[in-house]
Amino acid sequence: MAFESLTDRLAGVFKKLRGHGKLTEADIKAAMREVRMALLEADVNYKVAKDFCAKVSERAMGQEVMESLTPAQQVVKIVNEELVALMGGEEAPRLTIKNKGQTIIMLCGLQGNGKTTHAAKLAKYFIKQGRRPMLVACDIYRPAAIDQLQVVGGQAGAPVFTLPGAKPPEIARKALAHARDYGNDIVILDTAGRLQIDEVLMQELVQIKEAVPVDETLLVVDAMAGQDAVNVAKTFNETVGIDGIILTKTDGDTRGGAALSVLSVTGKPIKFQGTGEKLDDLEVFHPSRMASRILGMGDVLSLIEKAQDAADEKAAEETARRMMENKFDMNDMLAQFAQIRKMGGAGAMLSMMPGMSGIDASQIDEKAFDRIEAMIYSMTKEEREKPSIINPKRKRRIAAGSGTRVEDVNKLLKQFEMMQKMMKQFKKSPKGFARRLGGMMGNPNAFRGLK
């Protein structure tokens, strides 16, 4: 996950502060030196890191912290507030979307940063909001660029406009007229990229903006490029003029400095972040939520939103009813795993939970879900509905059919039995159920022993 090393470094700094009880000026200065080093190692711009630490130090030296009974917590609070301010403030930056007429969004950036994929992600994002986006193929240079846009556009459910033989400014003009005729209220221009910034690329983007009234110019940058991403953003903004940034690959093993530096250096906010390879893996960038994740406080709001997006309300209601009636079976268990997969897997969920920042998501055996599903699919209809009938002979058959061991089948049945007991406890004592469920949620390695 992005910021993982920074999160660990900051956690270490705050742990030392808590060990001091009352803080002295020397304690705060030493902590800020470590914070600055952690930011620089995360590839944060030097001036941004220096200014950030100066602001935190100034506030931390104040009476509110020095005389507090919990000074370390006050410092964490200040760091959190300054991180939020650094990335754009409490409110997530908004796109300029017209209620009437057409909104034109132009995506630009270097080649290989994911413009085409994120054009489709944006289209799908708007379709979920009830809009009718259209993608426009303005990259006429890269081999198969138009084919790629047509493929991902089809996956997103958005039409793709092409005009073979025409120049990008003309394509944009004709696309606008076509969108008007066919009722597409959002037009997304997928422009050409280059391996590096050049005058021809910049001039073409300027010409497109002169040809059509672009409402939002969004620069797509790779979070893994670190300070190079910030420098690219600065150049594009000065030459073409951008309104915001889509930061891609924020789920990868990136140091995260681009997210913390880009607003200070360019004056332009991050508006979206790409969190994976699927077309649904696009999120509005919330500075406050990102700050919470950096400080290991989790991101409960994003977790709830993911759950709402993935949730099948009717299925959830049916599962709840079956739980209350003690009818929860292996089919229901399969449905729960499907919901977890829709939310990005157990690792993605844990990364958003408060207090889980120290857990290495890569150590969570996502394949355990595959093996459990294989065992359930190897059961007969009767066995799924009534696992108590599974005797040693049936266990051997299920293990052979799923490529697992009899011990694994035994473990699954034992875990299922525990779940059933918890359902009964819920009916007797909802508070006791909640406590036990909390204990389970704090154990990400519940299925670790499964081979």
| Residue 336 assigned to a binding site | no
Query: What are 232-235's contacts with CB under 8 Å, separation 24+?
Result: 232/109, 232/110, 232/197, 233/262, 233/265, 233/266, 233/268, 234/265, 234/266, 235/197
Count of C-beta atoms within a 10 Å radius of residue 2 = 27
| Residue 139 assigned to a binding site | no
Pick from 143, 155, 186, 192: which is nearest to 171 by CA? 192
The token duo for 428 is 């007797």
| Residue 191 assigned to a binding site | yes
| Residue 194 assigned to a binding site | yes
The token duo for 312 is 């099948």
Cβ neighbours of residue 427 under 8 Å, at least 6 residues apart? 324, 326
Report the distance separating Cα 43 and Cα 56, nearest Å.
Answer: 19
| Residue 249 assigned to a binding site | yes
Pick from 112, 157, 158: which is nearest to 137 by CA? 158
| Residue 110 assigned to a binding site | yes
Beta strand 186-191 pairing with 216-222: unpaired
**What is the three-class DSSP state of 270?**
strand
Backbone angles phi and psi of 222, in degrees to 5:
-90, 120
What one-character DSSP code corresponds to residue 296? T
Burial code (b: 16+ CB inside 10 Å, e: under 16) for 398-426 equals bbeebebbeebbebbbeebeeebebbeeb
Residue given tokens 């400014």 in the structure block: 169
**What is the three-class DSSP state of 282?**
strand
> Taking the C-alpha atoms of 319, 323, 325 and 329 in order, what is their torsion angle to the nearest 10 degrees?
80
| Residue 165 assigned to a binding site | no
| Residue 404 assigned to a binding site | no
Report the distance separating Cα 295 and Cα 7, nearest Å.
Answer: 6
| Residue 109 assigned to a binding site | yes
| Residue 248 assigned to a binding site | yes
| Residue 239 assigned to a binding site | no
- Start-to-end C-alpha separation, the chain: 25
Size of the chain, expressed as the number of residues it contains: 451
Report the distance separating Cα 103 and Cα 176, nearest Å.
Answer: 10
Residue 310 Cα to chain centre, angstroms: 14
* Binding-site residues: 109-116, 190-194, 248-251
Binding residues for GTP are: 109-116, 190-194, 248-251
